[in-house]
Amino acid sequence: MAQNSMRDIRRRIKSVRNTAQITKAMEMVAAAKLRRVQDAVQQSKPYLSKMQEMLANLSLSARLVKHPLLAVRPVRRIGYLVITADRGLAGPYNAQVVRAAMQEFGKRDKGSYAIYTVGKRGRNFFQRRGLPIAAEVVDLPDTPTYHSVRHLAENIVAAYEREEFDELYFIYNEFINAAVQRPVVRKVLPLASLGENVQGPRRNYLFEPDEESVLAALLPRYAETLVYQAVLDAKASEHAARMNAMGNATDNALELIEKLTLSLNRARQAAITTQIAEIVGGAEALK
């Protein structure tokens, strides 16, 4: 009986040790993916910052220019871009985003908002609840490129220009650091406040053919870049969340191995004690 018990414990220790090796490998892979996405975020920030600075100065000097992305309209319908992962094993990453999205949807009547999704987890959740999805992107690479989200970004910007909704919000996990990812609901469109944060002396740009034409060409591209930046930020959060989840799983597995090893030692000690008692009892019986 004791031998069977020890055999079961050894089998379980082996199984948990194999699981720990898998989760440790997944943790290291997620850490490598996180570094690559962080590099992509850092590379895209100067472009976005310079475009924002130029558009802010341009919008101040071209106040009379009318563009749909700058127009503040009465809010009848709202667009939401919800960014989740394509798979799980990332702790509360997906649940946080979905919970924040459902809280926002609950504030409005069904049909008064349009949903755009990135990632299978969010898309599947909303589809199961009968919520209509205007457009989606799934199976993004671990380090998304601008091309991988361009079509969705163009669809969102075009829908706003056609006045299919009057405000656009991003809902995703913002990357704070490797240990903290915070769900946010961020208003993106309209871009009416683009020039409000301009500080210091304004730069003078020469535009060809004119300011209005340049603004009309750059504003959609800027809005699309905001979508790409949010997807990169969310991907960094996903990899960090998965790295932390797999690290916690590895720690839990090692802790369980320690407990099982202690149980195995106790069972072995009990078996040895039983055998010694049987030998002593047998020796006494022979006297």
Choice between 287 and 131, residue whose per-residue pLDDT is larger: 131
Do residues 91 and 244 lie in contact, with contact meaning Cβ atoms separated by under 8 Å? Answer: yes
Residue 242 has pLDDT above 70, yes or no: yes
Across 167-176, 201-210, 260-269, least confident range? 201-210
Question: Shortest CA distance to 235 belongs to which of 86, 96, 42?
Answer: 86
Distance of CA 259 to the CA centre of its chain: 34
Choice between 120 and 43, residue whose per-residue pLDDT is larger: 120
Distance CA 133, CA 126 (A): 8
In this prediction, residues 193-221 reach a mean pLDDT of 67
- Residue 255, token pair as written in the block: 């802790």
Residue 151 has pLDDT above 70, yes or no: yes
Asked whether residue 37 is assigned to any structural domain, the reply reads no
Residue 143 has pLDDT above 60, yes or no: yes
Question: Shortest CA distance to 249 belongs to which of 97, 21, 96?
Answer: 21
Number of domains the chain contains = 1
H-run or E-run covering 188: strand 180-189
Asked whether residue 190 is assigned to any structural domain, the reply reads yes
Any idea what the CATH number is for the domain that residue 81 is in?
3.40.1380.10
Residue 233 has pLDDT above 80, yes or no: yes
Asked whether residue 133 is assigned to any structural domain, the reply reads yes
Asked whether residue 19 is assigned to any structural domain, the reply reads no
Choice between 22 and 198, residue whose per-residue pLDDT is larger: 22
Question: Shortest CA distance to 248 belongs to which of 104, 99, 91, 58?
Answer: 91
Regarding pTM above 0.85, the answer is: no
Range of the domain at 136: 46-241
Asked whether residue 141 is assigned to any structural domain, the reply reads yes
Asked whether residue 35 is assigned to any structural domain, the reply reads no
Q: What is the pLDDT of residue 195?
A: 55
Q: What is the DSSP letter of 82?
A: E
Residue 64 has pLDDT above 60, yes or no: no
Distance of CA 68 to the CA centre of its chain: 30
Asked whether residue 90 is assigned to any structural domain, the reply reads yes
Distance CA 75, CA 9 (A): 63
Asked whether residue 211 is assigned to any structural domain, the reply reads yes
For 251, other C-beta atoms within 10 Å of its C-beta total 13
Helix intervals (H) in 162-210: none
